[in-house]
Structure 1
Amino acid sequence: MSTDQAARTGAKVEILTLDIGGDLSEPARVRAWARAELRDFTEADLTDTILVLDELVSNAVRHGKPPRQVRLLRRPGRLRIEVDDSGKAPAIPRQPSETGGRGLALIDACATAWGQDHDEHGKTVWAELAQA
């Protein structure tokens, strides 16, 4: 559900944003930020959330282009993670190898839905998770 759709249905949406750089240490900073912001999550929900968030951010840092931003859109019982970058190449699952290829499969296993949106500025790769 996009933020506009949530607003039309009357669902309260809390949006948390963080700009991310291109350094390979950025996923650790984003994980720490998310843990602090989502301290009311159960441990099980937080574990899945951090895994999905880490994969999306890592992909944006490795394969995307600046600027990059992560958003957490919270509404009762749901969390949507969105990661923007200005790269035009779509996120495509690939065969696992010793150099990677497992991220989108992990996201698919943990999320209730995931996908990507493209526009003239780049792309947003997103995932939605149910919360207890």
Structure 2
Amino acid sequence: MQLEVRPDPAEVGRARRWALSRLLGSGIGADEPLAETLVLLVSELVTNAVVHTGCPAVLRLSLSGGAAEPATLRLEVADSSDRAPVPRCVDGESTGGRGLALVDGLADRWGWNKEGAGKRIWCELDHCTQPAKSAAAYGGGASAYEGLAFEAV
């Protein structure tokens, strides 16, 4: 499943709604931690793509796995910029710049690959019966990423 995203910050909300509707269509409830975390990850990765490249992006979502193993939700955002994600230091007063630090904290795995003239940033969430990390768990307290953030351009 994929969604083409125009280079407009207003597209981030549309991308979140699209991803959540696909997740709900797979039988995973909106109140599950996986859904909450997915929405935050889509926000961060799509925002990075549309704000920093000024070019269209493609959001892809896939759910794999079977009865013998937990399902894995994979989120990918491809854009036309070949610049790698780079660490960025921000102070406590900054209102942005923490996107990939959140991705690192919330996703079970993430990375990026060059793809043609651009790149693809991906992350994966494992869906299992045990409680997983959720976006709410990162709402307060000190973090290993305090003062350090990442920017994908």
Instruction: Report the Cα offset of residue 26 of structure 1.
Output: 0.7
Give the TM-score normalised by structure 2.
0.72
Residue 69 (structure 2) pairs with residue 84 (structure 1):
no
What whole-Å deviation, never above 9, does each CA across 1:31-60 have from its counterpart, x for those lacking one? Answer: 111111111224211001111111000000
Letter in 1 for 2:21: A
Residue 46 (structure 2) pairs with residue 48 (structure 1):
no
**Do 1:65 and 1:87's aligned partners in 2 also have CA atoms closer than 8 Å?**
no
What whole-Å deviation, never above 9, does each CA across 1:72-120 have from its counterpart, x for those lacking one? Answer: 0210210111100001211123123414211001000110111110133
Counterpart for residue 8 of structure 1: none
Instruction: Report the Cα offset of residue 65 of structure 1.
Output: 4.4
Residue 48 (structure 2) pairs with residue 59 (structure 1):
yes
Structure 2 residue runs of 5 or longer lacking an equivalent are 66-70, 129-153
Q: Which has the larger radius of gyration?
A: 2
One of 115, 121, 124 as aligned partner of 1:125: 121
Alignment of structure 1 residues 1-132 onto 2, 5 Å: 16-39=1-24, 40-42=27-29, 43-76=32-65, 77-97=71-91, 98-132=94-128
How many percent of aligned residue pairs carry the same amino acid?
Answer: 38
Letter in 2 for 1:41: I
The structure where helix makes up a greater share of residues is 1
Distance in 2 (alpha carbons) for counterparts of 1:22 and 1:65: 5
Give the TM-score normalised by structure 1.
0.82
Letter in 2 for 1:45: L
Instruction: Report the Cα offset of residue 128 of structure 1.
Output: 0.7
Q: CA RMSD in A?
A: 1.4
**Do 2:20 and 2:38's aligned partners in 1 also have CA atoms closer than 8 Å?**
no
**Do 2:50 and 2:56's aligned partners in 1 also have CA atoms closer than 8 Å?**
no
